[in-house]
Amino acid sequence: MKLWFHAGPNWEIFVGALTLCGYASFLFGWHVHEKAILLIIIPFSLIALKDRRYFSAFRPLAVAGHVSLFPLLFTAAEFPLKTVYTVFWLILFLFVFDRVAPVPERPRIFVFDRLALVYLTFAIPLIVYCSLVHHLIFGFERLQFLPLMFMSSYSALGVVGSWVGFMVVYFNA
């Protein structure tokens, strides 16, 4: 509705509407693959650095997108590579991009920022547990569904939280 009733064409509103379509396709789709998160991440990344309000809604989505791909790389030989890559990406993404995103003209919503920070702090312990600790405690045969369930639940919370945060920012901009 915002796209059609906004005065004059606007690239940012169009990309925001496209991002909401990606969220709808991913969240309410019949069958979702891990790669389908790109339907949201790619258009959202075009406006994520518009200001910190958009960036704080993008952070949980980007982390959930990376974490959701971890079960696809499940062998012991892949563990060091995926862990080093993800930690390096998180440091680069969280610290550098936060400095690049400008401070918004409108105030940010404090609660969403803090909830996103709590969500992000659980990424590294979850990755370490699901990729290493679980197999050391239970082996490869017992409770093998548990790491996948934790990863899926964590990713689902990130995507839904990002969707709510993006809607608040998009419709109040």
Q: What predicted TM-score, i.e. pTM, was given to this entire model?
A: 0.86
Cα–Cα dist 86/66, whole Å:
8
Cα–Cα dist 121/2, whole Å:
34
Does 23 score more than 90 pLDDT?
yes
Model confidence pLDDT, tens digit, residues 58-98: 999 999 988 888 777 777 788 788 878 887 887 788 788 88
**Distance from the Cα of residue 45 to its chain's centroid:** 11
